[in-house]
Amino acid sequence: MLRLVLALFAIAEFLSPASAQISQCNACNINNNIACVSNTEFRFCGANNLPGTGPTFTCPTGSLCTGNTAVCEAGASVVGACAACQQCNSQKFVACLGVRTYALCLGASTPDLTITGSCAPNYVCNRDNPNICGLASQGSQATCGLADDELYSSTTESTPENFNATLYCQRMQRAGRFPRGTNINTTCRQFVLCFYRSNELRGSVYDCPGQTYFNATSALCVTGIPATCTVGIQYLAIQGL
């Protein structure tokens, strides 16, 4: 009953003029204890200043959830708090597709849905996190909304053991150097070279020299551990493989 009363109180402020400040997706507003869990939905916050698991409320038609004091706002200049979902970050490196899933951008403005991956259990995807995935329990906020997802559920997906470099390249549909996998001791130190031979895409796996790792953004072997090989990453996969 208390939550219902609070929800009705929030609805009274829904149509307030849009403010310039936009909150982050899934971030709890300390003024009203509410977080946007999609561009049009919100929840009351629970323990640890995280969105709760209670009912999800929907903004009125024509308004977006901004996470400000008014929660939902209407207007041509209004941007939803979760608008960054499925958008490449400023470095054109990665885009979050969901709470725990992501796609590499490989220097483009739009994500390459051929190369996707998943965060480890209890980690969430934040496109501005240098490591892509961060622990939700330590305050990392998912770029995409929690409305259709649960924060702490796990996944059992993994990279296939039988790897075919030529099939990989045919899925990529272009020549170049691409990441092999996410194992810090093995596949992170390799890359797939896709090339044309007799007008047909072929692929070969190469090892990076010395103690270096393959960086998907620069397409070079580097000394620093790339984000796709950090502890929060569970797997990296090619569509259809």
Give the span between the Cα atoms of 154 and 120, in whole angstroms. 7
pLDDT in tens, 66-85: 988 889 999 889 999 999 99
pLDDT for res 11: 45
Placement of tokens 């402020």 in the chain: 13
pLDDT for res 51: 80
pLDDT for res 132: 95
What are the sequence ranges of the domains in the chain? 2-73, 165-238
Strands (DSSP E) contained in the chain are 34-36, 41-44, 57-58, 64-65, 72-73, 94-96, 101-104, 115-119, 123-125, 133-135, 176-179, 190-197, 200-207, 213-215, 220-222, 233-238
What lies within 8 Å, CB to CB, of 48 at 6+ separation is 137
Q: Which of 36, 222, 236 is nearest to 133 (CA)?
A: 236
Give the span between the Cα atoms of 220 and 211, in whole angstroms. 13
Q: Which of 62, 50, 33, 130 is nearest to 90 (CA)?
A: 130
pTM of the model: 0.75
Q: What is the spatial order of strands in the sheet that 200-207 belongs to?
A: 176-179, 190-197, 200-207
pLDDT in tens, 78-127: 999 999 999 999 999 999 999 999 999 999 999 998 899 999 988 999 99
In the predicted model, residues of the chain with pLDDT beneath 70 are 1-23, 148-161, 240-241
Q: Environment class of residue 149 by beta-carbon count within 10 Å: exposed (0-12), middle (13-18) or buried (19+)?
A: middle
pLDDT for res 154: 42
pLDDT for res 133: 95
pLDDT for res 41: 93
pLDDT for res 236: 85
Give the span between the Cα atoms of 48 and 223, in whole angstroms. 37
pLDDT for res 241: 66
Q: Environment class of residue 82 by beta-carbon count within 10 Å: exposed (0-12), middle (13-18) or buried (19+)?
A: buried
